[in-house]
Amino acid sequence: MNDDSTGCPMCRRWDDDADLRIVEFAYSYLILHRDQFFPGYCLLFAKTHETELFHLDQAVRQGMVEEITQVTAVLSRLFRADKINYELLGNMVPHIHWHLVPRLTTDPLWPRPIWAEPHQELLLTPEGYRERCTLIRQGLETL
Ligand SMILES: [Zn+2]
């Protein structure tokens, strides 16, 4: 655990966004991103406050990559992605968190990064979030 975790929003995210929880893995948490402009957009973040991949023990890092791989295989199938984007920046929130984004060649920002220009956030109803989280969870259970 890094000492810079005080006030880190990602350290609280699993509790703060309880309605977006999909699954707790061995090395990470997976939640749906509240903005579903890109359908199936998820966040996968380290269970402990770590800021760089090279800070992780090799087994943890490899385990996390395996978790990312399982998630993205499911997202690709469920949302018929033409490409998955994996984004690990951490400039604003340094706690390791991956933006896992199914991309379609028909989306208005294609082929640029999702942050290339602003877009209108797409928020779902509480039932819509529940259904989408359940869909992805069930996809992971049937891998
Ligand atoms: Zn943190």
Structural domains of the chain sorted by starting position, each given as residue range(s) with its CATH number in brackets: 3-141 (3.30.428.10)
> What distance in angstroms lies between residue 11's CA and the mean position of ligand 1's atoms?
4
The fraction of the chain above a pLDDT of 90, given in percent, is 94
Nearest to 53 by CA among 9, 104, 13, 95: 95
Whole-number Å distance, alpha carbon 13 to ligand 1 midpoint, is 9
Two structure tokens written together for 11: 């350290």
102 within 8 A of 84, measured Cβ to Cβ: yes
**pTM (2 d.p.):** 0.95
Q: At what angle do helices 58-78 and 126-141 cross, to 10 degrees?
A: 110
Q: Is the dihedral of CA 132, 63, 9, 38 positive or negative?
A: negative
Stretch 21-44: mean pLDDT: 98
Query: Which of these, 140, 142, 119, 143, lies nearest to 32 by C-alpha position?
Result: 140
Q: How far is the CA of 23 from the centre of ligand 1 (A)?
A: 18
Q: What is the pLDDT of residues 107-140, one digit of tens each?
A: 999 999 999 999 999 999 999 999 999 999 999 9
Q: How far is the CA of 80 from the centre of ligand 1 (A)?
A: 32
Residue with tokens 């998630």: 71
Predicted confidence (pLDDT) per residue in 68-101, tens digit: 999 999 999 999 999 999 999 999 999 999 999 9
What span, in angstroms and rounded, lies between the C-alpha atoms of 91 and 95? 9
pLDDT of residue 2 exceeding 90, the answer is: no
Position 5 confidence tier, pLDDT thresholds 50, 70, 90 = confident
